[in-house]
Amino acid sequence: MNDCLFCKIGAGQIKSDVVYEDQRVMAFRDLTPKAPVHILIIPKKHIERVSAVTEPDFGIFADLHRAAQHVAKSQNVFESGFRLITNNGKDAGQTVNHLHYHLLGGKAMTWSPV
Ligand code: AMP
Ligand code: ZN
C-alpha cells in the first residue's frame, strides 16, 4: 500500500490544482505558495528524491524539465524568469519524500538560500 501524498495527487486520487499533465509528469499549484507563481512538478512514478534516481530512470529529468518549460510558458514567466528548486533530504528541508521541483516566479527574487 503506497501512502505517498504526491503519488496520490499524481494518480488523481487527491485533488490538486493541475496546470500541466502528460503520461509521466504532473504539475500543480503549491498549497502554500511562496511566490505569485509556485508550481510543483512531479514524476508520476514514485522516486523519493534526486539522490534516489538510478540509471534506468534518468530520463525523468528530461521529462521534468520539458514540463517546466511548458509550465513557465503557460504561467507567463518564461521570459520574465523563474526559479527551479528541488530540496533533497533532511538538511535541504525536504518535507514530502517524492521527487518534485518547485517552479517559482512572478516577482523579482533575491538569492539567499541559507
Ligand atoms: P518540500 O518542502 O520541498 O518537500 O516541498 C513540499 C511542498 O509541498 C511544500 O511547498 C508544500 O506547501 C507543498 N504541499 C504539501 N501538500 C500539498 C498538497 N496537498 N497540494 C499542493 N501542495 C502541497
Ligand atoms: Zn510517491
In a domain, 67, yes or no: yes
* Residue 43 lies in domain: 5-105
How many domains, in total, are found in the chain? Answer: 1
In a domain, 110, yes or no: no
State in Å: Cα 102 to ligand 1 middle.
Answer: 9
Whole-angstrom distance, CA of residue 22 vs CA of residue 44 = 9
Place of cell 512531479: 42
How much is the average pLDDT of 84-92? Answer: 98
In a domain, 79, yes or no: yes
Task: Tell me: pLDDT of 88 over 80.
Answer: yes
100 flagged as catalytic: yes
In a domain, 19, yes or no: yes
pTM (whole model) above 0.95:
yes
13 pocket-lining for ligand 1 (C-beta < 6 Å): no
- Which of 18, 32, 50 most suits a substitution to test ligand 1, by most atoms within 8 Å of the C-beta? 32
pLDDT band at 113 (very low <50, low <70, confident <90, very high): confident
List the CATH number of the domain containing 82.
3.30.428.10
96 pocket-lining for ligand 1 (C-beta < 6 Å): yes
Of these residues, 38, 98, 100, 102, which one is catalytic? 100
In a domain, 85, yes or no: yes
Give the side-chain half-sphere CA count within 13 A for 11.
Answer: 10
The pLDDT score that the predictor gives to residue 1 is 52
Looking at every residue in the chain, the average pLDDT score rounds to: 97
Whole-angstrom distance, CA of residue 63 vs CA of residue 94 = 21
Query: Residue 94 class from Cβ within 10 Å (0-12 exposed, 13-18 middle, 19+ buried)?
Result: middle
In a domain, 35, yes or no: yes
Task: Tell me: pLDDT of 108 over 90.
Answer: yes
The per-residue pLDDT for range 1-49, each reduced to its tens digit, is 589 999 999 999 999 999 999 999 999 999 999 999 999 999 999 999 9
In a domain, 114, yes or no: no
